[in-house]
Structure 1
Amino acid sequence: MEGCPIRALSLFTGAGGLDIGLEFAGFDTIGAVEADPQARQTLQLNKPNWVLSQTPQLREDNFERVLGEIPGAQNCEALIGGPPCQPFSKAAQWSTGKWKGRSDERFSSVVAMLEIAKAIKPQVIMIENVPGFASLKSGAIRSIRAKLGHINRTEGTNYRLNVWELNALNYGVPQIRNRIICVAFRDGLLLAPPIHTHSAQPDTCTYPVLNCWDAIGDLDNGTEAEEVSQSAKWLDLLPSIPEGSNYLFHTSRGDGEPIFGWRTRYWSFLLKLAKALPSWTLSASPGPTTGPFHWSNRRLSIREQARLQTFPDNWRFAGNYRVATSQIGNAVPCALASAVGAHILESLQISPKEDWQRSLIPSKRVCPEPHPTEPAPMKYRGCSIPADHPGPGKGPGAKNRVLNSTEVS
């Protein structure tokens, strides 16, 4: 089959990264449901033809009303969405010591999505989330399979869940970003994950993995960057940290000043990008000392963040810097979504668009030498060496610690 776009109903749409990529592949988003006011503005700015439900917050008790607000929703062939990831994120576990998983009230959004699936019985259901979503501890996958089994028994369908853990780096995203993609076909199709398009061994794939210079090197002109506020403690250490390193450089096991204890801070503390390496995962809610920072010792601009998520350069984000950063950090990289979308279409014997890889960033092949470092400020030098972390730890907010164990903050 060719030239037959699959109509998609998008839930928890956010800034639209998943939908952009799927449309590049050949899907046709007819309607979206999004609760965040700024994200809704972003969608209206860029896709005025998409119908936004007037009931933004999808729940189990209002899904029928939501369906009625989007013309054609009952006849969509695809139901797609990235439900709130906070119940399953590592960041939440690190900061609180708890991982609510499906016991979190926000998991009800997944249940509401499956109620819509039961009502419209789409050809394909696609759910995106963080790796913790698929852990046995979270119980999310078990709950979804149970709900799909109930739908099959009552509706005569044959949904079977494919669960893939994909690293966006292997699909043309210049960022190490692992995500869970769950796909269920109405006819029960079981499918291997999409093959890699990018690899560190490019002879095994079409393209080499991309680095930060490939993605944002042409934006490094200082004209659109939001400079780091020096009001936050420790930020004046950034110029002394080499590209690709973090606070660990300034520990007894690093090559800098022994300012911090080994593994006593979270990984992204004073984390700096390297031109020749991919980015680490962008955060949706970075603190004042949370990286990744630019190699020029500043925050990443909104456009640089968007590039690292493979958003098109003409995609605009509503809201201030913090709001836009949140939208971008929560988004699905467009290039990853394109690869998944093309794979789904091919499995349904539908040809993807010829230019479905249009969101890919070309490799620049050669990048400049690392940015030079500066000595650590004198106020930090000559201090007593802090103690290293003696155990794995769970972060400063972890509860119910055994005081005599090695789990210290």
Structure 2
Amino acid sequence: MIKEIYMKTISLFSGAGGFDIASFMADIPVAFSIDIEEDCVETLKLNKDFKETNLICGNLADYTSDNIKKMSGIEDDESFIIIGGAPCQPFSKNGYWVTNNIRKGINDPRAKLVNEFLRVVTELSPDGFIFENVESLLHPTNKSIVDGFINIIEEEGYNYKVIKGNALNYGVAQKRKRLFIIGTKGSFISDEPEKTHGDPNNLLDSYLKPYVTAGEVISEFDTEELFEEEEVISGKYQDELKEVPPGMNYKALTEWAGHPNPKFVADKRFWNFLLKLHPEKPSWTITAQPGPWVGPFHWKSRRLRVPEIAALQSFPKNYRFYGSRRSIQKQIGNAVPPLMGKAMIQFLKESIEANFAGNQLVNQS
């Protein structure tokens, strides 16, 4: 008789819980979550999914891997995975980590938090892991970080997949490219996580559903009851924003677009300047710290409301956030879209389960 495998998750750099919610969606409960930002941890505490999760506000570097395992409550014979989206920014070197002889290649001063993720993975040896980051981590200037990461996990016995994904393909109403490095000590069930959505103009004979549009997920929040003071637009470019058609940016007001009285010069501004959503198209990437005239704005020429930006990231409708408007925008903008994360975790989970079942059959023969 084949026994089922039961897994739990340890979440590092949890933020507002986008990746954690993805784990719950994939039926893997999160046993432990840690983040250095107090507002993020308070957000997790507000949501019932985390009632059984040990939530820690602190610096991951201050916690030994053994302590993390103990606080998670995961027993030595239990299966578990580690997930996390470590920010890759210019940090100082983490000396104790880079001096270990198996950690060659991770000597880039920007890799401090990547090192912390690797430290916990290599010391706890989970059944699998998923590391999430921006796609630009694959840029040649970051080659030492990625090469070092792969070198370490291979030495630890992990097979891996590097997935360049777009949230659009997993049911998120948003163009958002992200990088995932997925590792397991067994084999993978396929080359990549299964996509569920595709370009509606190219779906002939396809099992994929059309991309989810912004209007589909946020139109219900356009009511007077959900008005937010922060959504009101005023100031230097308020009239210009109103003139931009849905789905366009400032370039609609240039000579390039045939505007009779050009207000701007094409390609002289950032592309998301006065950028406006179209209700029948997916959203552009939701940012963590947008400037006053940086979109995407609502097609009704206002800033997006909190439940709207959360929905565009595919957070559950009843998900609650703690903190100021600025803090909440940052939390949501930095999050892994839950539906995208679910696809990655489901892919890893099914691979681990297939390996577990295969090993049982071998042992029984």
Q: What range describes the TM-score normalised by the shorter chain of this pair?
A: 0.7 to 0.9
The question of whether the paired residues in 1 share the 8 Å contact of 2:189 and 2:351 is answered with: no
1:233 maps onto 2:232 in alignment: no
1:91-170 to 2 correspondences below 5 Å: 103-105=108-110, 107-139=111-143, 140-150=145-155, 152=156, 158-170=157-169
- Name the counterpart of 1:272: 276
The question of whether the paired residues in 2 share the 8 Å contact of 1:60 and 1:112 is answered with: no
Cα deviation, 1:12-64, whole Å, max 9, x if unaligned, reads 0011111111211121210011111000000111123210235x111288545
Distance 1:350 1:267, change over 3 A: same
1:18 maps onto 2:23 in alignment: no
Q: Which moved more, 1:213-222 or 1:201-210?
A: 201-210
Structure 1 residue 235: deviation in Å? Answer: 2.9
- Name the counterpart of 2:183: 184
1:250 aligned partner, one-letter code: L
2:243 aligned partner, one-letter code: S
1:345 maps onto 2:349 in alignment: yes
Secondary structure (helix, strand or coil) at the match of 2:140 reads: coil
Question: Distance between the aligned counterparts of 1:167 and 1:223, measured in 2?
Answer: 33
Structure 1 residue 272: deviation in Å? Answer: 0.2
Structure 1 residue 280: deviation in Å? Answer: 0.2
The question of whether the paired residues in 2 share the 8 Å contact of 1:280 and 1:292 is answered with: yes
1:5-44 to 2 correspondences below 5 Å: 5-44=6-45
Length-normalised TM-score, structure 1: 0.75
Length-normalised TM-score, structure 2: 0.84
- Name the counterpart of 1:387: none
Secondary structure (helix, strand or coil) at the match of 1:180 reads: strand
Distance 1:136 1:40, change over 3 A: same
Question: Distance between the aligned counterparts of 1:210 and 1:51, measured in 2?
Answer: 34
Higher helix share: 2
Q: Which moved more, 1:304-313 or 1:190-199?
A: 190-199
1:224 maps onto 2:226 in alignment: yes
Q: Which runs of 5+ in 2 are unaligned?
A: 92-105, 356-365
- Name the counterpart of 2:266: 262
1:212 aligned partner, one-letter code: A
Q: Which moved more, 1:59-68 or 1:232-241?
A: 59-68
2:113 aligned partner, one-letter code: S
RMSD: 2.5
1:39 aligned partner, one-letter code: C
The question of whether the paired residues in 1 share the 8 Å contact of 2:233 and 2:301 is answered with: no
Secondary structure (helix, strand or coil) at the match of 2:181 reads: strand
Structure 1 residue 252: deviation in Å? Answer: 1.7
Question: Distance between the aligned counterparts of 2:349 and 2:66, measured in 1?
Answer: 28
Residue among 36, 52, 61 paired with 1:49: 52
Structure 1 residue 134: deviation in Å? Answer: 2.1
Q: Which runs of 5+ in 1 are unaligned?
A: 89-100, 153-157, 352-409
Cα deviation, 1:195-240, whole Å, max 9, x if unaligned, reads 3211123441331111111111122224324354545422331110
Moved over 6 A (4+): none
Cα deviation, 1:70-129, whole Å, max 9, x if unaligned, reads 3327655201101115569xxxxxxxxxxxx98454x21111111111111111010011
Distance 1:87 1:313, change over 3 A: farther
Secondary structure (helix, strand or coil) at the match of 1:347 reads: helix
- Name the counterpart of 2:103: none
The question of whether the paired residues in 2 share the 8 Å contact of 1:10 and 1:80 is answered with: yes
- Name the counterpart of 1:244: 247
Distance 1:190 1:350, change over 3 A: closer
Residue among 281, 287, 291 paired with 2:291: 287
The question of whether the paired residues in 2 share the 8 Å contact of 1:175 and 1:309 is answered with: yes
The question of whether the paired residues in 1 share the 8 Å contact of 2:233 and 2:302 is answered with: no
- Name the counterpart of 1:95: none
The question of whether the paired residues in 2 share the 8 Å contact of 1:31 and 1:73 is answered with: no
- Name the counterpart of 2:363: none
Question: Distance between the aligned counterparts of 1:109 and 1:73, measured in 2?
Answer: 26
The question of whether the paired residues in 1 share the 8 Å contact of 2:166 and 2:178 is answered with: yes
Question: Distance between the aligned counterparts of 1:208 and 1:177, measured in 2?
Answer: 16
1:322 maps onto 2:326 in alignment: yes
Distance 1:230 1:299, change over 3 A: closer
- Name the counterpart of 1:365: none
Structure 1 residue 314: deviation in Å? Answer: 1.0
Question: Distance between the aligned counterparts of 1:314 and 1:104, measured in 2?
Answer: 40
Structure 1 residue 68: deviation in Å? Answer: 4.3
Structure 1 residue 187: deviation in Å? Answer: 2.8
